[in-house]
Structure 1
């Protein structure tokens, strides 16, 4: 099986998995890393967020957390089909749910049981090595748009030569949209301050609205800045391997 075990950094074409073992292997990161799911009703319908709170392999079921916004639960209870997207480490996992959901409860909290998909699409899209910043090396980051349009301050979580992941306190999903160009991104690193325009790739609000993770790609990075970031990523890559 090639897909969840891929170790190189080359982008891979999308692959469709149909065996139970492959499907469970693709879904486990969403449970173990508490990854947000993007749920869409209809091709151009509203989008909602949820999490996988349990995988019941014996019964072939997935327990979904409460939806954000909660309006999504009404659509779910109507039995409407929906599309699910999950993103992590440059990998996109997608499947479609056609069967009605069943309302339930786990640990005193409402959940919704849905059937495990009979097939899902696994797509490794990143072609640049990305490193997580060491815990003893936090980096401040900002997104700025115009003089007072947008001013977000948070932290840089990981970095590659082509983009990075940012974390901001609270829910910023209403401020940022995939595909949006932000005029000014800055991050304070040991090598100096990085400053560039960035494209928003994905936005997710985590841990019950306590913080949001934002994936961005650099836009028209200068050659000097590109080389500076590549050297820093290589240095971090070596340090992370020693740390591990």
Structure 2
């Protein structure tokens, strides 16, 4: 799921990554996050989606899967230049002038595309949009009360930003009281760092059901947060971000 806004904070600045180590580090982050990237052909004003499937710092190359829709693949094979654009965990990444280096095949014989690492890429860490994943062991849980008359249910917090979070909840906990997009939940509470706690109402912005498990994943936006609680949330997100960078 994506919870990213197109509104940029005017105080935020792009960082220009130039060294192979910096560039490969960013691309490896996108690879591990398994988020799609947008391929844009400026000469044709058309875009496609694909995934980064490999990054090789030693050879200074990276690999892309075939494009979707498939009519974009001939453009790559013809050597047309394109730009790359993606978001992951609140980071906006762009680079351009990408041209096919080599077509290869994986062990199953499926073709993929190899490219030289870009000589530079633009990297924007969007402070308000940054979403950091929470550890699953031990899981961080939160209590969600959808309506005044319904009991609170226990949810697992998957990720969090300064303005919202994503939680997972077993659908059987909700019984017939299923949430709807746009609904404002009565109350939400979760632990933060240093024994602080966030208590607020939330609006349900997105809902996704895992068909295999039946679990619901809810994208929540915090509402009516006090200034002090907002500060605690931002400190918590920053702490998690630093921990993630150390690993």
Query: Do both share a fold (TM > 0.5)?
Result: yes
Spell out the pairing of 1:115-134 with structure 2 (5 A cutoff).
115-127=116-128, 130-134=131-135
Measured against aligned partners, the alpha-carbon deviations of 1:94-148 in whole angstroms (never above 9, x if no partner) come to: 111342353211232321112211111111112477553453456799xxxxxxx
Matches of 2:58 and 2:134, distance apart in 1: 38
1:196 and 2:203 correspond: yes
Give the SS at the match of 2:95.
strand
Q: What does residue 112 of structure 2 align with? A: 111
Alignment match, 1:7:
none
SS of 1:13 mapped into structure 2: coil
Structure 1: 5+ residue stretches without partners = 1-10, 142-154, 168-181, 201-212
TM-score, normalised via structure 1 length? 0.56
Q: What is the TM-score with the length of structure 2 in the denominator?
A: 0.56
- 1:222 maps to 224
Aligned residues: 190
Residues 97 and 115 in structure 1, CA contact (< 8 A), matched pair in contact too: no
Asked if 1 retains the 8 angstrom alpha-carbon contact of 2:134 and 2:240, the reply is: no
SS of structure 1 residue aligned to 2:35: coil
| CA shift for structure 1 position 235 | 7.5
**CA shift at 1:217, angstroms?**
8.6
Q: For residues 126 and 19 of structure 2, what CA distance do their matches in structure 1 show? A: 22
Structure having the higher Rg: 2
Deviation at 1:73, TM superposition (A): 1.6
3-state SS of 2:22 partner:
helix
Match of 1:82 in 2: 82
Cα distance in 1 for partners of 2:88, 2:234 equals 19
User: Residues 133 and 223 of structure 1: is their aligned pair in 2 closer, same or farther, counting only changes over 3 Å?
Assistant: same
**SS class of match (1:29):** helix
Q: Equivalents in 2 of 1:74, 1:229: separation in Å? A: 49
Distance in 2, matches of 1:126 and 1:87, equals: 13
Q: Which residue of 1 aligns with 2:193?
A: none
Cα distance, 1:66 vs structure 2: 2.2
Are the counterparts in 1 of residues 48 and 67 from structure 2 also a CA contact under 8 Å?
yes
Unpaired segments ≥5 residues, structure 2: 1-10, 145-155, 169-180, 191-197, 207-216
- Structure 1 vs Structure 2 CA RMSD: 4.3
Find the aligned partners of 1:92 and 1:64 in 2 and give their Cα distance: 18
Counterparts in 2 of 1:128 and 1:111: CA distance versus 1, 3 Å: closer
**Structure 2 equivalent of residue 20 of structure 1:** 20
- Within 5 Å, give how 1:144-163 maps onto structure 2: 157-163=158-164
Q: In structure 2, how many angstroms separate the alpha carbons of the residues matched to 1:238 and 1:99?
A: 39
3-state SS of 2:68 partner: coil
CA contact (8 A) 2:200 2:224 kept: no
**What is the CA distance between 1:27 and its match in structure 2?**
1.8
Provide Cα deviations, 1:202-224, integer angstroms capped at 9, x if missing partner: xxxxxxxxxxx99x7949x4346
Structure 1 pair 235–27 and aligned structure 2 pair: CA distance change class (3 A): closer
- Equivalent positions of 1:14-93 (< 5 A) are 14-42=14-42, 45-93=45-93
